[in-house]
Chains A and B, each alone.
Chain A
């Protein structure tokens, strides 16, 4: 029977010794990612996102717990088997692109295929097709330094796809890109999930990535919690009308049976001074927006 989950971690833990104390970078994380699923891992800096990604990708050995990819326990594999697993089953996309500087776009994409023993001609042909598919047909012979940030990241995505891996692990893939190119890369990842049934796990701070995610996980202090997208809709501060992330907001107030969220304590105090005024205005504004979007 086919393993329903491409990736499964069980009580995955990584601790680092920092002088006399022990830091739990990742603390008993259990998660499952299914085929055709795009999962975001979000959380504050230093929350353990990259450590988690490194362990899932077989680059870092956990202190305890297990990582299963297509049912195989990665944590028990020898280094040589891990290398093979990374080449065949995992595609990496990095924030800093990490293209090999002195190889052309085509050679960069073909690189992982050659590592698994594919013939050079075939690997380069497939690399060329992938680049064309990602709109880089005219950039195949370019060195990374001659590509824009968005192009580099698309080359990196093509490289991650060349060996048709089950899962793609992306670390802040939009972090070095402007809004347009960031959106473009996320849509490519989304298409990969939708069209090819692969799983994509993205570590990101970018809230725009949420638009294409099937699931969002929140990692904080090394521990994971599930987070439903609907709960994470951007909210408007009823006083200043600024967009506020409910999950990171620090100022709240209860009024008229509803929880209100503010960008700052100052706005909250102003709200408390005239709650009816701000609540009515905010409700009316929200109503107008709803009817506009319905129309």
Chain B
């Protein structure tokens, strides 16, 4: 009966239910979106590294990043690295950070020069056009193309030279950077490094562990450092997030605080409005555990509805953002969803404790109030 009574109370007043559920849903959605932006951006920042296909990155000694880093090694080391046991393929790339001018706007970008026929370092997905740039050509991210209003065949410029857009790639844009591909020859010419490479991307043979291979390369080839791709990705992600995405992290914390207050206040208010009825139930002989159960159930039902609504809204919002604001990536992780559910549940229960304690020590004036 306590269960039925509580559920009736929750669902009887639709306006209150909508307000409470909506309040909780919107506040949880705020956290989900902010954290989703954070997680999405964190993934996009390292998308090129992750999608390059390399298991080991070889670079100038003392360099341990790609983001905001500069590296130069001899291009003829490709042969030395290829000779290391466990190496399946080696691809040299040139890399420089710079601004790409497109459609009257400028975009901060990693500019990557690679040989058209090389296996590694190519964009993973193409929206349109060729996956590799030949001399005089460039491949730009889809977000840059869309925001700049340019397409295949249009001109972009970087490092003081004009290029024709040969292809538009997907998954190569983040708010912190974008990745523009050019031919190896063009970039070698622009960087005046005809015999140099920034990084050597190494594909490991089947069954060879990346960490072991990196150690073998460092031992066998002098004058280079080698990092497993996973480690490089982690280092770059940390560096990039430290530099730019901290703002989103702060916003996420603020959003979480606001959400916590909204969830707690909503649950507290919803249950406080029932205090008199709970007191009546107590006067009729309902034991304290039943009253506490009713309060907890009320809080959990409200929270579950709010959480469900927040989830549905978050999924819908991700689809809308994907179409309307492609520069923003929303990524909802299982850990965020779990932590949010746990924290919100804890908050709701804590918020329910105050009215529950009040009911447990019912003021008789409440039941006798006229």
Contact = CB atoms under 8 A, between A and B. Distances in A.
Interface of A: 50-51, 53-54, 57, 59-60, 79-80, 83-88, 90, 92, 94-96, 98, 100-103, 107, 110-112, 114-116, 120, 159, 163, 171-172, 175-176
Given A94-B368, A95-B370, A102 B285 contact: no
Q: Chain B binding site: helix, strand, loop or mixed by DSSP?
A: helix
B370 A96 contact: yes
A103 B281 CA distance: 12
Interface residues of B, number: 26
Contacts, number: 89
- Most chain A Cβ neighbours within 10 Å, of B281, B288, B364: B364
A59 B285 contact: no
Contact of B1 (A59, A102, A115): A115
B61 interface: no
Contacts of A87: 284-286
Nearest to B13: A102
B72 interface: no
A84 B285 contact: yes
Contacts of A114: 1
Contacts of A112: 284-285
B290 A92 contact: no
A86 B368 contact: no
A58 to B, nearest CB: 9
Interface stretch (B4-12, B106-114, B228-236, B318-326): B4-12
B50 to A, nearest CB: 54
A55 B53 CA distance: 79
10 nearest A-B pairs in the assembled complex, by CB-CB distance = A87-B285, A54-B364, A102-B8, A114-B1, A102-B12, A86-B285, A59-B364, A83-B287, A98-B280, A60-B364
Contacts of A96: 369-370
Given A59-B367, A102-B8, A116-B285, 16 more contacts: A80-B288, A83-B285, A87-B285, A92-B284, A94-B280, A94-B367, A95-B368, A98-B276, A100-B277, A101-B12, A103-B5, A107-B1, A111-B5, A159-B284, A163-B285, A171-B368
B283 interface: yes
A67 to B, nearest CB: 14
Contacts of B281: 100, 111
Contact of A59 (B12, B286, B360, B362): B362
B125 to A, nearest CB: 55
Of residues A51, A84, A100, which shows the largest number of chain B Cβ atoms within 10 Å of its Cβ? Answer: A100
Given A59-B364, A94-B368, A103 B283 contact: no
6 contacts: A95-B370, A101-B12, A102-B9, A107-B1, A111-B281, A115-B1
B277 A175 contact: no
Contacts of A100: 5, 277, 280-281
Contacts of B277: 100-101
A181 B285 CA distance: 27
A144 to B, nearest CB: 11
A202 to B, nearest CB: 13
B282 interface: yes
Contact of B283 (A59, A95, A116, A172): A59
